[in-house]
Chain A
Amino acid sequence: MLSKEIVGASTVPIILSILSRGENYGYAIIKEVKEASGGKIDWSEPMLYPVLHRLDKQGLIGSSWKIIENGRKRKYYAITESGRKALHGKKEEWIDLITYMGQLWNLKLSDS
């Protein structure tokens, strides 16, 4: 499990990165993050939604309701142009950080 601080700082870049690959909804995002991180990032589930709402209000992502099978309503989120710009900025910050940490600890980071 990662510490609260790191999770907190990375939440927005992670959400934006996932949404940059295509629109998605809350539960799927949580599930993907949990699985991809090997369970190391386990968001308190209801916490995600207020963050999504905030990003929505800030205009970094957009949202729309869709009717899925058996008539249920589901809210989908998609990244916007300014969201992509914000993600780009965040990405550079994280790469700088990770590169520096790598140097610091003499790690070999694969460039993927």
Chain B
Amino acid sequence: MMFDLDIAISGWKNKLRGQDGFEDGDIEELEDHLRSKIEDLVSSGLTPEEAFRQTIKSDYADIANINHIYLEERKMNQNYFTLLSNFVKVGFRSIHKHSQYSLINIFGLAVGFACVFGIVIYLNQELSFDKFNKNGANIYRTNLDMTRASGDIHYPIIPPAFGPEMKANFPEIKAVARLRYAYSTIMQSDQNSFFEDRVFFAEQPFLEMFSFPLVLGNPELALTRPNTVVVTERIAEKYFGTESPLGKIINYNNEIDLEVTGVLKNIPNNTHLEFDFLISFETYQPGVGSLATMTSWRWLGFLTYVHLNPETDLNDLTQKATELYLANSPSRVNRTLNVEFQPLYDIYLGSGDISNPQGGLFRTNDPDNLKSLAIIAGLIIVIAFFNYFNILTALMFTRTKEFGVRKILGSSKMRIVKQMLVETCIVVILSSLLSLLTIWIFSGANYLPSLTISAVTWVFILMLALCTSFGLINGLYLGSRLASHGILSLLQNKLAGNTSKFSFKKLILSFQYGISAGLVMVSLIVVNQLQFFSQKDLGYDKEGILVAGFRGDDSDAIERRERLTNEIASNPNVKTISFGPSFDGSSSGSPLRPVEASEAESIQTDYFGVDYNFAEVINLEMLQGRFFDKGVASDSVNALLINETLAENLGCADPLNQRVIFAGGEEYKIIGVFKDFNYESLHHETGPMALQMWLGPPRSVLFKFNSTENENEAIRSIATNWEAAFPEGNFPFRYQMLEGQLDDLYSKEADFALLLKIFTALAIFVAILGIYGFSSVNAHLRIKQICIRRVLGAELAQISKLVGRDFLLISLISAVIASPIVYYIMNDWLSGFAYRIDISFGFFLIGIFIVTAVTVITLSIQVRKVMNQQPARILRSE
């Protein structure tokens, strides 16, 4: 065939066009150069063919090299942005090319990140408690730590005389603010009356000490006069609408008219002390008939915050305060006592062993919960990372050709690393944005705090950290993997032939399986423990009982009680009505001892004041003796019922008719022993407990329904009775079913369990995505092998075995390894509960089963996909 220069040159040009280093005109310019040179050579006597061959041989043999020179030169000219945009372009191209795996990656990471961001936002809130107080670092709460024979008690409330005495004696104390909780009260303006739970009597320095700004009124004067109140904006609107609340009157408990002297900005969510009303401290009067006085050193009833000089020696002050307390408080044998100043910032997360009386005086959280969530967040990150890593590594085997070609083109190792970095960042950023969107959508929900600037900042810092760490690790790993292989082995796809029995890849995979299996087991155990709570026999009947607030220390309370009893008597839905304890987790306590025992042998005993109907309402089971009887006059004076635990602790052969000293030195006779019932949260073991007749003003009223079927109708009928009994409308009917109220005692656990369930479910989901993605890539790599086997007549079962054996084995082994670790951790967690389930073998079996089942299902989908393809077509394309 005749040599045609034009054809030869256009062939050469086509080769150049296959490269990516040339811009418009570059190839034409080179063509002109080539032709000029050939013309020179021809004029010196060569044939065109010889001239062409010689030219091509010398400087143009290596097209890739020319391309590289052009590329390098361009890179030097390019600014950082165009360089980056090139990486991004290539990155998106590769994401698009492997869209299925990219989607798994982006989606999996997005779910993972959403969890992590959610947890970060939650943690950010939990760790921010009380930090908004400008003086916070120097504010302390005064606690009393008592150790006595019956056990340790850490009390956050102290006697009323203690605070002022400290202020008078210790110059390092700048200010003292005492607070008294008002329990639930009835608050009433001209038009409205409501039950309010967030009411405190507060001493004037409180507003200056803490950073709760007033919108209206003067913080220095607002709480100085008796019968004044400061309310939050929310309350001002609730009671007075748009009218200015200043100078308006709010009535307290149908007793005292309070003048509004200030309006507080709504208090932030992250405060351990929640309130809506602050009544001036001078308004406070100890209850009618109470022996307690404001100069008492025995009455543990007041939150007392102190503001210290920054240079105060805390140890010294603690010692001095302890001495001051002991000097004034009546001594009791066999008791050690310490005053403790608890830093404000520690209260929310550091009050686990401090009793929280009066039905939850302040908010706390268990730092262990935060730790658990942080651990889950970490686990999810690890799972998401390994997912990404696994899929990317597996994909690398399908992308070896691409990298091989790049290497020929002179891509440096750094360039490949950079490309991987950019690709990772694209994926991470896309999934972060997706997860932020999710978070934003869910941020209105209860269990997730609303987004704050600091939370968003944290999320962005985290995002940046994730981008760089994921990108660097993946980029460096892949870059070095690729660099360690020759171009030929890359082009021939030799990497995929790694079939060693034990590899890094498998180690990662088993780690992933282990975590997923562990999380499944953990969540099973947690859910079961919480289930156990709600189903445990509490020792009394909680169904069909309605609790309503019945407030009032005034003398009318007894009369109102009669009115309500008379109204209810004709209500067919109500079986019994009883006035007594509120079952909200609060109780009173006092030492109790047999008359013949010494004071040192006293047993700290909780007690409820109840009426004659109490036993019938809660279905109290008597073990010995009898319940209170209307017919026995002495029952209402000095009779006492005790529970099993107390009977055991007393150690008497026969507790019946035993005489004991109780409640401030009075002598009582034990007339019965009842079966233990849980009156506190199940975190605590039922303690020694007593029941006493109480016919004074009650705190609550319990209604026992005739049937549990028509609850709503029963509630409506009681509401009607209530209105008839109190037509003035100044005693609102606020009620809750006892069951719901008990659930509230475990609401922290329930919230936590919900979070845990959500995150665990998501973690498992992400893990499954990973298993799916990884096994897909793996199956894809083995298509040829599978096809050949199919052509040779292999059955589905054999092929499944081929693909699945490794995965199943790994998932099984890692799930088994995870079990003892889970056992160890969960046993520790459960030991925090007095009433707990035992960890049975079943939890682990179920966990192992779920993980292996998911693996089997995923793999069969993959195998089916491969089996449905035409083997001939695949083999040809290889």
User: A and B bound?
Assistant: yes
Question: Which of A69-77, A80-88, A98-106 participates in binding chain B?
Answer: A69-77
Name the contact of B32 in the complex, choosing from A47, A50, A51, A73 (C-beta under 8 A).
A73
- 15 additional A-B residue pairs with CB within 8 Å, beyond A45-B59, A49-B70, A50-B69: A25-B32, A27-B32, A27-B37, A45-B33, A45-B37, A46-B30, A46-B59, A49-B30, A51-B73, A53-B74, A54-B73, A57-B77, A65-B25, A72-B35, A75-B28
Is B25 in contact with A44, judged by CB distance below 8 angstroms? no
Q: What is the 8 Å Cβ interface bit string for chain B, positions 342-367, against chain A (1 contact, 0 not)?
A: 00000000000000000000000000
The secondary structure that dominates the B interface is: helix
- Considering the complex of A and B, which 5 residue pairs feature the smallest CB-CB distances, nearest first? A50-B73, A27-B36, A45-B59, A46-B66, A27-B33
Whether A26 is near chain B, meaning CB under 8 Å from some CB there, is yes
Is A50 in contact with B74, judged by CB distance below 8 angstroms? yes
Q: What is the 8 Å Cβ interface bit string for chain B, positions 609-652, against chain A (1 contact, 0 not)?
A: 00000000000000000000000000000000000000000000
Name the contact of B29 in the complex, choosing from A26, A31, A51 (C-beta under 8 A).
A26
Known A-B contacts A46-B66, A46-B69; A75 and B35 likewise in contact (beta carbons under 8 Å): no
CB distance from B69 to the nearest CB of A (A): 6
Is B69 in contact with A47, judged by CB distance below 8 angstroms? yes
User: Which positions 785-835 of chain B face chain A at CB distance < 8 Å?
Assistant: none
Q: Which residue of B lies closest to A75 (CB)?
A: B29
Q: What is the 8 Å Cβ interface bit string for chain A, positions 18-53, against chain B (1 contact, 0 not)?
A: 000000011110010000000000001111011101
Known A-B contacts A27-B33, A49-B29, A75-B32; A54 and B77 likewise in contact (beta carbons under 8 Å): yes
Q: What is the 8 Å Cβ interface bit string for chain A, positions 56-72, against chain B (1 contact, 0 not)?
A: 01000000010000001
Is A74 in contact with B32, judged by CB distance below 8 angstroms? yes
User: CA separation between A54 and B23, bound complex, in Å?
Assistant: 13
Whether B26 is near chain A, meaning CB under 8 Å from some CB there, is yes
User: CA separation between A47 and B35, bound complex, in Å?
Assistant: 17
Chain B interface size, under 10 / 10 to 19 / 20 to 34 / 35 or more: 20 to 34
Q: Which residue of A lies closest to B58 (CB)?
A: A45
Q: What is the 8 Å Cβ interface bit string for chain B, positions 60-83, against chain A (1 contact, 0 not)?
A: 100000100110111011000000
User: CA separation between A73 and B69, bound complex, in Å?
Assistant: 23
Name the contact of A72 in the complex, choosing from B26, B32, B37 (C-beta under 8 A).
B32
CB distance from A10 to the nearest CB of B (A): 17
Q: Which residues of B contact A65 (CB under 8 A)?
A: 25
User: CA separation between A73 and B32, bound complex, in Å?
Assistant: 7
Q: Which residue of B lies closest to A44 (CB)?
A: B59
User: CA separation between A28 and B76, bound complex, in Å?
Assistant: 25
Q: Which residues of A contact B58 (CB under 8 A)?
A: 45
Q: Which residues of A contact B72 (CB under 8 A)?
A: 50
User: CA separation between A59 and B26, bound complex, in Å?
Assistant: 18
Is B73 in contact with A53, judged by CB distance below 8 angstroms? yes
Q: Which residues of B contact A28 (CB under 8 A)?
A: 36
**9 A-B residue pairs with CB within 8 Å:** A26-B29, A27-B37, A31-B40, A45-B37, A46-B60, A49-B70, A54-B76, A75-B28, A75-B29
Known A-B contacts A27-B36, A45-B33, A45-B59; A73 and B28 likewise in contact (beta carbons under 8 Å): yes
User: CA separation between A41 and B37, bound complex, in Å?
Assistant: 17
The secondary structure that dominates the A interface is: helix
Q: Which residues of A contact B36 (CB under 8 A)?
A: 27-28
Q: Which residues of B contact A51 (CB under 8 A)?
A: 73
Known A-B contacts A27-B37, A54-B77, A57-B77; A49 and B32 likewise in contact (beta carbons under 8 Å): no
User: CA separation between A27 and B32, bound complex, in Å?
Assistant: 8
User: CA separation between A73 and B25, bound complex, in Å?
Assistant: 10
User: CA separation between A27 and B370, bound complex, in Å?
Assistant: 73
CB distance from A24 to the nearest CB of B (A): 12
Q: What is the 8 Å Cβ interface bit string for chain B, positions 23-62, against chain A (1 contact, 0 not)?
A: 0011011101101110010000000000000000011100
Q: Which residues of B contact A72 (CB under 8 A)?
A: 32, 35
User: CA separation between A25 and B29, bound complex, in Å?
Assistant: 9
Known A-B contacts A65-B25, A75-B25; A50 and B35 likewise in contact (beta carbons under 8 Å): no
User: CA separation between A26 and B34, bound complex, in Å?
Assistant: 11
Q: Which residue of B lies closest to A52 (CB)?
A: B29
Is A50 in contact with B70, judged by CB distance below 8 angstroms? yes
Q: Give the residue among A26, A46, A50 with the most B Cβ atoms within 10 A.
A: A46
User: CA separation between A65 and B33, bound complex, in Å?
Assistant: 14
Q: Which residues of B contact A73 (CB under 8 A)?
A: 28, 32
Q: Which residues of B contact A54 (CB under 8 A)?
A: 73, 76-77
User: CA separation between A72 and B69, bound complex, in Å?
Assistant: 25
User: CA separation between A27 and B41, bound complex, in Å?
Assistant: 13
Q: Which residues of B contact A27 (CB under 8 A)?
A: 32-33, 36-37
Q: Which residues of A contact B76 (CB under 8 A)?
A: 54
Q: Which residues of A contact B30 (CB under 8 A)?
A: 46, 49
Q: Which residues of B contact A31 (CB under 8 A)?
A: 40
User: CA separation between A82 and B28, bound complex, in Å?
Assistant: 27
User: CA separation between A49 and B35, bound complex, in Å?
Assistant: 15
CB distance from B31 to the nearest CB of A (A): 8
User: CA separation between A46 and B77, bound complex, in Å?
Assistant: 17
Q: Which residues of B contact A26 (CB under 8 A)?
A: 29, 32-33
CB distance from B26 to the nearest CB of A (A): 7
User: CA separation between A49 and B69, bound complex, in Å?
Assistant: 10
Q: Which residues of A contact B26 (CB under 8 A)?
A: 49, 53
User: CA separation between A50 and B37, bound complex, in Å?
Assistant: 18
Q: Which residues of A contact B66 (CB under 8 A)?
A: 46
Q: Which residues of B contact A49 (CB under 8 A)?
A: 26, 29-30, 33, 70
CB distance from B25 to the nearest CB of A (A): 7
CB distance from A31 to the nearest CB of B (A): 8
User: CA separation between A28 and B35, bound complex, in Å?
Assistant: 12
CB distance from A30 to the nearest CB of B (A): 8
User: Which positions 4-28 of chain B face chain A at CB distance < 8 Å?
Assistant: 25-26, 28
User: CA separation between A28 and B36, bound complex, in Å?
Assistant: 9
CB distance from A36 to the nearest CB of B (A): 16
Q: Which residue of A lies closest to B33 (CB)?
A: A27
Q: Which residue of A lies closest to B63 (CB)?
A: A46
User: CA separation between A44 and B69, bound complex, in Å?
Assistant: 11
User: CA separation between A25 and B32, bound complex, in Å?
Assistant: 10
CB distance from B16 to the nearest CB of A (A): 10
User: Which positions 487-529 of chain B face chain A at CB distance < 8 Å?
Assistant: none
CB distance from B766 to the nearest CB of A (A): 48
User: CA separation between A26 and B35, bound complex, in Å?
Assistant: 12
Q: Which residue of B lies closest to A46 (CB)?
A: B66
CB distance from B873 to the nearest CB of A (A): 42
CB distance from A63 to the nearest CB of B (A): 9
User: CA separation between A50 and B66, bound complex, in Å?
Assistant: 10
Q: Which residues of A contact B32 (CB under 8 A)?
A: 25-27, 72-75
CB distance from B542 to the nearest CB of A (A): 83
CB distance from B66 to the nearest CB of A (A): 5
CB distance from B813 to the nearest CB of A (A): 57
Q: Which residues of B contact A46 (CB under 8 A)?
A: 30, 33, 59-60, 66, 69-70
Q: Which residues of A contact B33 (CB under 8 A)?
A: 26-27, 45-46, 49
Q: Which residues of A contact B60 (CB under 8 A)?
A: 45-46
CB distance from A39 to the nearest CB of B (A): 14
CB distance from B720 to the nearest CB of A (A): 90
Q: Give the residue among B40, B58, B59 with the most A Cβ atoms within 10 A.
A: B59
Q: Which residue of B lies closest to A51 (CB)?
A: B73
User: CA separation between A45 and B28, bound complex, in Å?
Assistant: 15
CB distance from B28 to the nearest CB of A (A): 6
User: CA separation between A46 and B66, bound complex, in Å?
Assistant: 7
Q: Which residue of A lies closest to B76 (CB)?
A: A54
Q: Which residues of B contact A57 (CB under 8 A)?
A: 77
Q: Which residue of A lies closest to B71 (CB)?
A: A50
Q: Which residues of A contact B69 (CB under 8 A)?
A: 46-47, 50
CB distance from A61 to the nearest CB of B (A): 14
Q: Which residues of A contact B28 (CB under 8 A)?
A: 73, 75
User: CA separation between A36 and B37, bound complex, in Å?
Assistant: 17
CB distance from B62 to the nearest CB of A (A): 10
Q: Which residue of A lies closest to B67 (CB)?
A: A46
CB distance from B324 to the nearest CB of A (A): 83
Q: Which residue of B lies closest to A50 (CB)?
A: B73
User: CA separation between A50 and B33, bound complex, in Å?
Assistant: 13
User: CA separation between A82 and B77, bound complex, in Å?
Assistant: 18
User: CA separation between A57 and B73, bound complex, in Å?
Assistant: 12
